[in-house]
Amino acid sequence: MRRRLRLSGEAENPGEIRPGGRTARTRESVCRSTLQVLAESGYAELTVERVAERSGVHKSTIYRRWGGIDGLVVDALAFAVDDDWEPDLSGNVEANLMEFARMALASFADPVYGPTHTAVVAAAFQSDRAVDAVHRFFADRFGRTSTIITRAIENGELPKNTDPEAVIRALMAPIYFRLFISRQSVTDVDLEQAVQAALAAAMAGVFENQERR
């Protein structure tokens, strides 16, 4: 299943009302609009006025509830991770990590959702509060994905004292480097190399966690 931020450009079905009442609907509209503007124009062009116009929520309400731009970004990221996504655990550890890596790459390459992901990461370079929000976002994603490694440990595919999140970070680091630093394309070969390198390091005890002994 492809994982993506649950927002940019996505309209609700006509007449659909999500549970939680008016306050929840207001938050959803504002958070979606914040992420849409981020994707279209970047953090530097994100304003309360633009979010208010896009969401249909008066700017005085936005200022009162979110305080300003940083508050909008923080809550929009919290909104984005509020889902029930879990990684595929149907294969062996190599297959499951490869599936996750492909899904992660697809989310950044998607012409609709990719710009939102990129803009969210870029916002972290311009706002201290956005940094904290991005940290929480990736901690949530890596925490959920680490169940792939936990399952592999239980199945005897990896050493029992392996730190699951360290393996996921090692897997994603070269992918993010190509996406955000060198600005190079990422091929399936690159993904396979990243998976193999992370697993080889795990098998060699590089990600040994003393507390798991």
* Residue range 90-106, pLDDT digits in tens: 999 999 999 999 998 98
pLDDT at 11: 37
Buried-state track 98-127, b at ≥16 Cβ within 10 A, e below 16: bbbbbbbbebbebeebbbbbbbbbbbbeeb
Q: Which residues pair with 162 in a beta bridge?
A: 208
Q: Span 140-163, mean pLDDT?
A: 94
Provide mean pLDDT across the span 15-41. Answer: 80
User: Is the model's pLDDT at 2 over the cut of 50?
Assistant: no
What are the angstrom distances between the C-alpha of 66 and each of 31, 63, 71, 75?
Answer: 10, 5, 5, 8
Task: Give residue 178's pLDDT band: very low, low, confident or very high (50, 70, 90).
Answer: very high
Percentage, residues of the chain above pLDDT 90: 52
Residue 14 reports pLDDT greater than 50: no
pLDDT class of 82 with cuts at 50, 70, 90: low
pLDDT over threshold 80, residue 182: yes
Which domains are assigned to the chain?
A: 21-80 (1.10.10.60), 93-212 (1.10.357.10)
- Per the CB < 8 A criterion, the answer to whether 74 and 131 are in contact is no
- What's the confidence (pLDDT) of residue 204? 96
Q: What is the pLDDT of residue 9?
A: 38
Q: Burial level of 167, CB count in 10 A (0-12/13-18/19+)? A: buried
Bridge partners of 208? Answer: 162
- Overall pTM surpassing 0.85 (yes/no): no
Sequence-ordered alpha helix ranges (H) in 14-112: 21-41, 48-55, 59-66, 69-80, 93-109
pLDDT digits (tens, 9 = 90+) for 122-135: 778 877 878 888 88
Q: How far apart are CA 117 and CA 68, in angstroms?
A: 21
Quickly state the pLDDT bin for 211 (edges 50, 70, 90): low
The one-letter amino acid code at 54 reads R
Provide the pLDDT confidence category of residue 17 given band limits of 50, 70 and 90. Answer: very low
- pLDDT tier, 157 (very low <50, low <70, confident <90, very high otherwise): very high
Average pLDDT over residues 161-169: 96
- CA dist., res. 120 & res. 113, Å (int): 11
Residue 123 in contact with residue 73, Cβ under 8 Å?
yes
